[in-house]
Structures are given as C-alpha cells and as structure tokens.
Chains A and B, each alone.
Chain A
Amino acid sequence: MAGLPEHLLRRSAEAKAKATGRPVEEILAELKGEAPPPAAGAPSAGSGPVRDLAKESADLGVPEDLLRRAMIARAKKDGTPIPGEPGAAPVAAAGTAPVAAGSPAPIPTIPEGVRTQRLLTVVKAGAIQQTKREPADKVNTWPHLLAIEFVALLVLTGLLFVFSIYVDAPLLEFANFNQQPNPSKAPWYFLGLQELLSYFDPMVAGIIIPGYGLAGLAFIPYLDRNPSVRPSDRKLAIMIFTFFVMGAAILTTYGSFFRGPGFNFTFPWVDGIFFDF
C-alpha cells in the first residue's frame, strides 16, 4: 500500500488478525500488496481479460496498487477470475498465496466487543466549491483590488459630499392632507408606472404590468437557456432586455418632466419642471 507508514499498516494488520484469527504477518503482506488475498489465490493470471493497470493509473491519476486491489476485490465479489495484467508474472500473482487454492479460509466469527474497521475507498481530492478550473490569470487582491476599491470609495464620498454642499435636498411646506399639490407625483422610480396609469386601467398598469415585469425579470436566468455569453450569440435576449429598459426609461422621463398640472402633457422648457427629487 503506497504511502502508508509501516507502523500504521502493522497496527491495521494486527487489528485485522485479532478480528479474523489469521496470522498477522500474512495479513501484513497482503496489505502491502506482496501477496494476494487468500481466496484470490486460485485463478492464474491471464485467465481473464487483460487490463493494463499502469496505463489506467496514468490516465485516471489513481495509484496502480489501488487499482489492482479494486480489480481483485471486484473479481472476488463477482466470483469471476481476476483479469490478468500484461506485465505481471503469474508467479507473483498467485504463487506466494499461503492458503491453499479452492479452500477459502473459514470465516471466523468476530468476538463480542471487538469492532472492526475497514478503509472503504480512497476518494480523489476535489473541490467542494463549484469552480471551473480554467487556466486563470489572477492577481493579488491586495494591493490590486483593494487599492481600486479604496480609491472608488474616496471618489464616491468626495463627489457626494461636494454635490451635497451645493445642492440642497427639497423640503416643501408642512404636510397638509387637505391640500393635494397639483400635480402629485410618486418618487421618480415609480413615475414610469404612474405614467402607465394614465393610459391603462389601474389593474393593468398598477398590478399586471409591474407584476409580470418583476416576475419576468427574476426568472430571466431560467427562461434564457442559451449558454453563450457572447453578445453576438445573444441578439434576441439583448434586444428584448434593451427594449424593456428603454421603455422604462422613456416612460420615467416622460412622467417626470413632460407631465404638468392634472398630469397633463407639458413641455418642460415651456411651462417649467413639475418634478422634485
């Protein structure tokens, strides 16, 4: 068994010997792969289909002796002859088996209170995370990304601060529920919807269109089954999305700047702007 230290192998062999009542040395040899397990002694090499374990090992990245063990175990389980290997000498495969062929060792009962453990399988290490290992061109987060983020934060804070020094947030008169301003407008991000309300029934403009719009938006990844991210492969998707974004932008602009008293049409450069942020 490649890679396992001798003393661990011995411990394992001793435990197995205690449990099965077979000699320690025999089990140890078996574990090291120097001798095949007793029941496998009979069939001679070459009696089954030939498998080139060295090649498979290289292909799969699994150590050769593990492959051999797996092969032997499977053959034993299925009761089929062990497939031969091109390079293996028949003597090495069967000759040193200490137990007589054809008479498998009686399965000893495990004494009460003894726990046996087996190494079931060796799993090839792989990431739990869902990452495709593309040959990635990477840079250190520090300093490359953090520096950009820091500058972005500074610029953003600076711009917002300077803008806020010069432009004051609106504050009109105290709330008066008896005097509705004309026009009354929702916050700007709802003005597209308010604009729609002036064309359609509230059920359509207030519920159906925004409702389906939102649901459609949320389900985009499940509706668009095209795996490509190349713009030239996604003409339809891009067209539809752009259509809706432009539509929303136009309606919002229209509702914001081209609607005056009574929510009637105005030109902002003629009658002034009826809009507050």
Chain B
Amino acid sequence: MSGKDKGGIMSKLAETGQHIRSSQAWSSIFRPGSPFRDGYSDTPRNRSYVIMNNVLYHLHPVKVKRHGVRLSYTLCLGGLSFFLFILLTITGIFLMFYYRPTSPQAFLDIQALATDVTFGQVVRNMHRWGAHAMVLTVFLHMARVFYHGAYKPPREFNWVVGIVLLLLTLLLSFTGYLLPWDQLAVWAVTVGSNMGRYAPVIGDQVSFALIGGTQITPDTLLRWYVLHVLFLPFVIVIFMAVHFWRVRKDGGISGPL
C-alpha cells in the first residue's frame, strides 16, 4: 500500500520534472544539445552541440587533438594554473569581507579569521597555499612548454604573453604577501622590494611609486591592497584571455613530438 503510494509520488515528481524540462523557460536557458534538456542522448551531433551551445565555446573548440587531452602531454599544468587562479579569486573575495587594509586593523583582521570567522582559517590557508601552488604550476607549465618546443612558430607570441603572465603571477603573489601586516610580511617585502631599487635611472622612482614613499608604511599597505585585489587581477584576466585565444588561433595544442 505504502509502496504503491510512494511510486505515485515518484511518478508525479518525474512528470513534473518532465513538464519543467519541456517548458519554454527551460529550453530558453539550455540551448540545443544541452544534457539538461529533455531527451539528451549521447550522439556525435549532441556532443558537438554541447560545446557549440555553451559559453565554454569561447574557450574550447568542438574537437581537440587526441594527443592534446592526454594528461602526459600537458600535465594539465596550464589548466591547473587557471583553476588555481579561479580558486584564488573565490577564496580572495571571501577574505575581502573580513579584511581592512589599514594598520593595525589588517593584522587584527587576519588574526580574527582563525578565531571569529567560520571557516576563516581554512579559507585563508587555501588562499595562501593556492597562491604558492600557482607560482609553481605556472613555472612548471613554462618548463613543459619549453621542453615540447611549443613556443616555436606560430606560437612565439603566446610564449611572450606567457612571460607576462608569469610576471603578473609573481606580482600578485608578492603584493598579497604584504597584506597580513605581520613581521614576515613587512620584512619579506622590504627585502624583496629593496632589490628593485638598484635599477638604473628609474629604480628609485618606480620603487617610490610602488611603495608609496621611501619605505614601507600603511600607505604601502593600501596601495598594494588595491593592486592585489583589483588592478593585477584585472590585467592578468586580460592577458589570460589573449593567451587562451592564441592557443586556439595558433592551431590548438602543439603537435605530438
């Protein structure tokens, strides 16, 4: 009796689901070929449709070279760099809710993450370890591209774009390093930015503009915060867009060796 009743509810649910999936609103959201549409079947045509009718079409072509999807070719390193960037954006936005770029509040806010904020510490950890990991994956990605000779024509320019991305990644990491405003942060940044001061002609000026004075002060904190959460992510996203676009325009992943 009860089993029969349950079946009734289930079939009602299924019916409702079907009804929703065949509604005009639903099919206006999911374009043809989407697995979320009513009656998706795994056909070659639908496999193409999934990409063609998807925002991912901006990143991926419908078909890719078979050797390019082998993990042993790219080691997923470029992709991992990108995923890490996305994770860093998400965790970074979370951290921004609890962080004020002033002294001493910056330090106290970071401290409070461990005690006062649900998941605060773990999100901070993810942001920090993720940032270090990204420096590493970007570097390894560069090495893998080199060893494959994947910078050779027609991909020369994408290598140069890659170098810009490497620099931007380092700058993002370096500007973020100051934000906890503890002894580690200010002295690591002091040592690091002192190196740039020796540049001929412009060294002093560049260093003055970046640090916002002749030495690190709370003004530096605000300046680097804005660079870290706004300016550098904005620039790196633009360069990533060019990078991904060029990967496709240059004929996809470089050929097998």
Binding site for B on A (CB under 8 A): 129-132, 134, 136-146, 148-149, 152-153, 156-157, 160-161, 163-165, 167-177, 179-181, 184-190, 193-194, 197, 202-203, 206-207, 211, 214, 217-218, 220-222, 224, 227-231, 234, 237-238, 241, 245, 276-277
Structural contact, B129 and A167, CB atoms closer than 8 A: yes
Distance between Cα atoms of A182 and B24 in the complex (Å)? 68
Q: Which residues of A contact B173 (CB under 8 A)?
A: 187, 189
Q: Which residues of B contact A143 (CB under 8 A)?
A: 47
Structural contact, A176 and B65, CB atoms closer than 8 A: no
Q: A174-B104, A175-B186, A221-B155 are in contact. Are A189 and B170 (CB under 8 A)?
A: yes
CB distance from A98 to the nearest CB of B (A): 53
- Which B residues from 9 to 37 make CB contacts under 8 A with A? none
Structural contact, A163 and B69, CB atoms closer than 8 A: no
Structural contact, A190 and B255, CB atoms closer than 8 A: no
Q: Which residues of B contact A161 (CB under 8 A)?
A: 122, 126
B224 within 8 Å of A by Cβ? no
Q: Which residues of A contact B255 (CB under 8 A)?
A: 134, 229
Structural contact, B69 and A145, CB atoms closer than 8 A: yes
Distance between Cα atoms of A120 and B195 in the complex (Å)? 63
B148 within 8 Å of A by Cβ? yes
Structural contact, A152 and B122, CB atoms closer than 8 A: no
B163 within 8 Å of A by Cβ? yes
Q: Which residues of A contact B150 (CB under 8 A)?
A: 229
Structural contact, A146 and B56, CB atoms closer than 8 A: yes
Q: Which residues of A contact B111 (CB under 8 A)?
A: 171
Q: Which residues of A contact B121 (CB under 8 A)?
A: 168
Distance between Cα atoms of A131 and B64 in the complex (Å)? 13
Structural contact, B79 and A141, CB atoms closer than 8 A: no
CB distance from B134 to the nearest CB of A (A): 11
Structural contact, B200 and A207, CB atoms closer than 8 A: yes
What are 7 of the A-B contact pairs (CB < 8 Å)? A142-B47, A165-B125, A167-B129, A187-B177, A218-B163, A230-B257, A277-B132
- Which B residues from 127 to 150 make CB contacts under 8 A with A? 127-130, 132-133, 135, 143, 146-150
Q: A157-B87, A169-B124 are in contact. Are A145 and B152 (CB under 8 A)?
A: no
Distance between Cα atoms of A193 and B47 in the complex (Å)? 50
B174 within 8 Å of A by Cβ? yes
Distance between Cα atoms of A206 and B250 in the complex (Å)? 36
Q: Which residues of B contact A245 (CB under 8 A)?
A: 143
Distance between Cα atoms of A139 and B63 in the complex (Å)? 5
**B-side binding surface: helix, strand, loop or mixed?**
helix
Structural contact, A139 and B160, CB atoms closer than 8 A: no
Q: Which residue of B lies closest to A138 (CB)?
A: B63
B242 within 8 Å of A by Cβ? no
Q: A134-B255, A164-B122 are in contact. Are A227 and B152 (CB under 8 A)?
A: yes
B93 within 8 Å of A by Cβ? no
Structural contact, B66 and A222, CB atoms closer than 8 A: no
B101 within 8 Å of A by Cβ? no
3 residue pairs, one from A and one from B, having the closest CB atoms: A164-B125, A221-B156, A229-B149
Structural contact, A160 and B182, CB atoms closer than 8 A: no
Complex partner residue of A220 from B110, B130, B146, B157, CB under 8 angstroms: B146
CB distance from B15 to the nearest CB of A (A): 29
CB distance from A142 to the nearest CB of B (A): 4
Structural contact, A163 and B129, CB atoms closer than 8 A: yes
Q: A172-B182, A184-B190, A234-B149 are in contact. Are A160 and B64 (CB under 8 A)?
A: no
Using A175-B182, A206-B196 as known contacts, list a sample of 11 further A-B pairs with CB atoms less than 8 Å apart, ordered by residue number in A. A130-B251, A136-B65, A139-B66, A141-B56, A160-B126, A171-B184, A174-B183, A202-B195, A221-B157, A229-B257, A241-B147
Q: A165-B122, A276-B184 are in contact. Are A203 and B198 (CB under 8 A)?
A: yes
